[in-house]
A = this chain, B = another copy of it.
Amino acid sequence: MLSNSSKYAIKAVLFIAVNSKRGKKVMVKDIANPINVPKPYIAKLLQKLVKEKIISSTRGPRGGFYLNNENFKVSIMKIIHAIDGEKTLKSCMLSLDTCNEEKPCPLHNILSISRDNILKHLNQKTIEDLSNDINLGQSFLPL
């Protein structure tokens, strides 16, 4: 469903969200270890996220990654789209183009409600929402 890359990206973004408060920036080398992802790999993903305006960065000494106010409003789905592309999550569980409500595939009837719920939540929840949860101790970022 989600590629490793998307999972890494989500973890990294949330890590930045909770660790870059008040102008303090976070560097790649400080992200890679705690979220358990190889440094050069996460660096590449972060660059893509910057291009898509999902996170922000500055170069040079005291530089690093951070989130501005707009970044905080971005949905989790947008992170996934930036990394995995648009169509990954959209197709039906059997990847059938022809599957729809009128002509459902055999899995459609039993799975589509739950599936649509997952998509709905990924679209609704923002980086801000999830980092608030973490800050309130309602969820955790162990790695």
Interface residues of A (CB under 8 A from B): 1-2, 4, 7, 10-11, 14, 76, 93-96, 98-99, 103-111, 113-115, 117-118, 121-122, 125, 130-131, 133-134, 138-143
Contact = CB atoms under 8 A, between A and B. Distances in A.
Contact of A98 (B14, B115, B143): B143
Give the number of times this chain occurs in the complex, counting copies.
2
A50 to B, nearest CB: 21
A27 B14 CA distance: 51
B1 A1 contact: yes
Contact of A105 (B95, B98, B106, B142): B142
Contact of A109 (B7, B118, B133): B133
Given A94-B11, A114-B115, A117-B114, A109 B142 contact: no
Nearest to A120: B114
18 contacts: A1-B2, A2-B93, A10-B106, A11-B94, A96-B142, A99-B142, A103-B140, A104-B138, A104-B139, A105-B139, A105-B140, A106-B130, A106-B131, A106-B140, A106-B141, A113-B117, A114-B115, A115-B118
